[in-house]
Amino acid sequence: MGDENRLTTEDIMKRVENEVDDILEEDMVMDWIDEALSQIAVFWGEPATTDIDATGQKGEWLDLPSDFIKEAEVYDQDGKRCHSHTINSVGQIMFKVERNYTINYHKKPAPIDREDKSKDLPINPMFHPSVVLWCKAEYWDFESDSDQVESQHANKFRELFYQTVREIARILAEEQVRLPRQKRRLYRRLGRIEGLPLEARFGLGTTQGPTRTPEGR
C-alpha cells in the first residue's frame, strides 16, 4: 500500500528544492527529514515495550527509554489498563500506585542514513509525501525572519502535514483491524468446506461425468 509514494532521501531533497525554488544545504534538509519522521512516529511509530518497577517509587519521576516518543498503553502487573500516571516532557513517568508496570509505546525512529541518500525513507511509503510538507514548513519558518506572509506559508504547510499524517494513520489503523477480520472470515469458510470432496470445494459438485480430453474424443 502506498508504494507509488515511495521516496528516497535524495528524492525528498530535490522535491523540496523544486517546490520552494531555492538551493538548500543538505544537512539542514536532512535535519528536517529526521524531525518529520519523529513527528510521524507520534501518530504511527514503531511499537516497543518496556517494564518499570515502581515499587517504593510512588510520586517519583522514573526515566522512560531514550527512544520513547509517545505512550500507547500502560498495564499494571495484573494486566489491567492503567490511567493513574503522568508523563512529563523530558521523558519521565510518575505513578500514583506502587506496582510493576508494562508500557507499550511508540519508538523514536533512527536517524536517516546521511551517507546513502538513495535509500527509501524508513517509514510506511504512504507518509513519504508528508515529509515534503514538513520540510516546506521548516523552510518557510527558516526564511520568514518575522515576515508575516512567509510565517503564514509555514503554518499552512505544517497544518497540512498534521492533517495528512492523522488521516493516513487512521487509514492504516482501520486496515490493521479490517485485514484480521477478513482472514478470520476466510478461515471460517475454509473450515466449513474442509471435509468436502475436492470437487465440491471448487464448486464442481460430485455428480458430473468425467471431463473430456482431446485424446478422449
Instruction: Give the model's pLDDT for residue 185.
Output: 59
Instruction: Give the model's pLDDT for residue 76.
Output: 94
* Cα–Cα distance measured from residue 114 to residue 30, given in angstroms and rounded to the nearest whole number: 7
Closest by Cα among 180, 181, 174 to 44: 174
Instruction: Give the model's pLDDT for residue 203.
Output: 37
3-state secondary structure 164-181: HHHHHHHHHHHHHHHHHH
Instruction: Give the model's pLDDT for residue 184.
Output: 59
* Cα–Cα distance measured from residue 217 to residue 211, given in angstroms and rounded to the nearest whole number: 11
Whether the full predicted model's pTM is greater than 0.85, yes or no, is no
User: What kind and span of H or E run contains 103?
Assistant: strand 100-107
Q: Rounded to the nearest 5 degrees, what angle is found at the Cα of 164, between the Cα atoms of 159 and 165?
A: 100
Report the 10 Å Cβ neighbour count for 12: 24
Q: Rounded to the nearest 5 degrees, what angle is found at the Cα of 162, between the Cα atoms of 180 and 10?
A: 90
Instruction: Give the model's pLDDT for residue 5.
Output: 82
Residue 97 in grid coordinates? 500506585
Instruction: Give the model's pLDDT for residue 10.
Output: 95
* Cα–Cα distance measured from residue 194 to residue 37, given in angstroms and rounded to the nearest whole number: 46
β-strands 100-107, 46-53 pairing: antiparallel
Closest by Cα among 113, 116, 135 to 35: 135
* pLDDT tens-digit profile, the chain (217 residues): 556 789 999 999 999 999 999 999 999 999 999 999 999 999 998 899 999 999 999 899 999 999 999 999 999 999 999 998 999 999 999 999 999 999 999 999 999 999 999 999 999 999 999 999 999 999 999 998 878 888 999 999 999 999 999 999 999 988 877 766 655 555 555 544 444 443 333 333 333 333 333 344 3
Q: Give the side-chain half-sphere CA count within 13 A for 157.
A: 22
Instruction: Give the model's pLDDT for residue 181.
Output: 63
* Cα–Cα distance measured from residue 131 to residue 44, given in angstroms and rounded to the nearest whole number: 14
Asked if 87 contacts 93 with a C-beta cutoff of 8 angstroms, the reply is yes
